[in-house]
Structure 1
Amino acid sequence: MNGDPVTTTLSAGPLLLRPWLPEDVPALIEAYRDPGMRAMLRTQVTDEAGAEQWLRVQQEGRESGSRFSFAVVDRDLGGEPVGNVALKYPAPGSGSAEVGYWTAAPARGRGVAALALEALGDWAFEAFAGDGLMRLELLHRLDNEASCRVAEKSGYGFVEVLPARPPWPLDGHRHVRVRAGGAR
């Protein structure tokens, strides 16, 4: 792997993808106030204690190498986080990992999620090339048409419909992005 993934930052146009910081608590709480976002996510953040716990989980994931979550900062919108992208990385040699994201309401419809996911994927394929990472999967609920558009815009082609199973009450989609030269 190239560099230190615990402190890695990425740049994509006006976006900065950086580790989450303790001073991001107010922006995190505000983002989770959006009913649309809450409806699509399993984890809920409702107060300062919940936000601090969420930040601890992200930090622990980076330190253990199991999850690399980035605050998405739009420098054109003042420098506060407007989203999150995450790489959920399984054991080296498995060949695949999952990505996830959310975008705060004020940043939606501006291409932030697609640009951030593309940067995350580029980084993941480079950083984990030595571990054999060849495939990234993006999963979303069937009724989340916006996530379908984001997946396609950021290079994740539709692969299949997934049947509902706990904790997801509805069917979903699996989208895949393959490393250049890899098989789908």
Structure 2
Amino acid sequence: MRTALAAGGLLLRPFRASDAPALIEVHRDPVLRRYVRDRVTGPDEAARWLETEDRGRREGARYSFAVLAEGVLVGQVVLKRGAPGGAGSEVGYWTAAAARGRGVAPRALAALTAWAAETFAADGLVRLDLFHEGDNTASCRVAEKTGYPFEGLVPAAPPRYPLDGHWHSRPVGATG
């Protein structure tokens, strides 16, 4: 299984302990904090976050990639695999403030989508789902640009999900 991916000038690779300072810095952005569920504000939280991502990869349930441009952390993409052999998985992403509007999220998501199909289609993966807060219009544009059409609304589930969300989905192997 490949663990490093290239995407139009970006490098996607598993997170490392050395990413902690950059992760903390990226999480200072109020827009990012508005949409992510697990915030990283200091070294202890960064260490826990990194361990959670590493454990998810080891267990085959969560494949998180640091997105780097010229060696700088500019985002994250993640495949939440769930049950091995399951038909569906969820994808997610975030982009650092300084990298927004530069096509980072669509390029990284396209690479993750292709990797997921290549890696897990033979194991039964047939669908990739993407969820985001309903007021996150940038995520909606990224999803649609990357071939994840809007499927419907997801009701709010406060306090973790205070607003209705959007559900996007695409079949594995679809182009877009």
Q: TM-score range by the shorter chain?
A: over 0.9
Give, in angstroms, the shift of residue 137 of structure 1.
Answer: 0.5
Letter in 2 for 1:52: A
Q: Which residue of 1 aligns with 2:50?
A: 55
Contact kept, 8 Å, 1:24 with 1:80, in 2: the verdict is no
Q: Which ranges of structure 1 fall in alignment gaps of 5 or more residues?
A: none
Structure 2 distance, partners of 1:136, 1:180, is: 10
Structure 2 distance, partners of 1:50, 1:179, is: 34
Runs of 4+ in 1 over 6 A off after TM superposition: none
- What TM-score results when the alignment is normalised by the length of structure 2? 0.95
Q: Which residue of 1 aligns with 2:114?
A: 122
Q: How many residues align?
A: 174
Listed one character per residue, the Cα deviations across residues 15-65 of structure 1 (whole Å, up to 9, x for unaligned) are 000010111111100100000000111101100111111100110000000
Q: Which ranges of structure 2 fall in alignment gaps of 5 or more residues?
A: none
Q: Which residue of 2 aligns with 1:21?
A: 16
Contact kept, 8 Å, 2:117 with 2:173, in 1: the verdict is no
- Secondary structure of the residue aligned to 1:155 is coil
- What TM-score results when the alignment is normalised by the length of structure 1? 0.91
Give, in angstroms, the shift of residue 74 of structure 1.
Answer: 1.1
Q: Which residue of 1 aligns with 2:89?
A: 97
Equivalent residue in structure 1 for 2:127, among 135, 150, 163? 135
Quick check: 1:67 aligned with 2:59? no
Give, in angstroms, the shift of residue 164 of structure 1.
Answer: 0.6
Quick check: 1:165 aligned with 2:160? no
Structure 1 distance, partners of 2:44, 2:166, is: 33
RMSD: 1.3
